[in-house]
């Protein structure tokens, strides 16, 4: 892939992260990248992710923790946004 596309896509991912959870540090962007990819894989190929989590129970716990963290960050960001609108 071309470097310009990768740079543009990284910018898109950074903006998505910012809009989703309110900040886009490199660590947060990486978390959202993993979260989004796993979420898509689980929706389109649930048997694959079920097999993987059965083979890697420690990774299953990490994925659950990541999903919970993203959910909490998103809820906090939305609550902060709705307070500012009031």
DSSP letters along 44-82, please? Answer: H-HHHHHHHHHH-HHHHHHHHHHHHHHHHHHHHHHHHHH
Q: Give the global pTM.
A: 0.88
- Binning pLDDT at 50, 70 and 90, where does residue 82 land? confident
- Binning pLDDT at 50, 70 and 90, where does residue 3 land? very high
Average confidence (pLDDT) over 46-58: 97
What pLDDT is stored for residue 33 in this prediction?
Answer: 98
Angle at which helices 46-55 and 26-44 cross, to 10°: 120
- The Cα 20–Cα 7 span in angstroms is 20
* pLDDT single digits (tens) 55-80: 999 999 999 999 999 999 999 999 98
Contact, 13 vs 31, CB < 8 A? no
Q: Which two tokens stand for residue 35?
A: 């979260």
């Amino acid at each position: 892939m071309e470097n310009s596309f990768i740079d543009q896509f990284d910018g898109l991912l950074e903006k998505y992260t910012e809009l989703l959870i309110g900040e886009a540090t490199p660590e947060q962007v990486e978390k959202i990248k993993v979260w989004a990819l796993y979420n898509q894989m689980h929706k389109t190929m649930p048997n694959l992710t079920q097999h993987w989590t059965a083979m890697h129970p420690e990774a299953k716990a990490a994925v659950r923790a990541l999903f919970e963290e993203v959910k909490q960050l998103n809820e906090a960001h939305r609550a902060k946004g709705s307070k500012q609108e009031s």
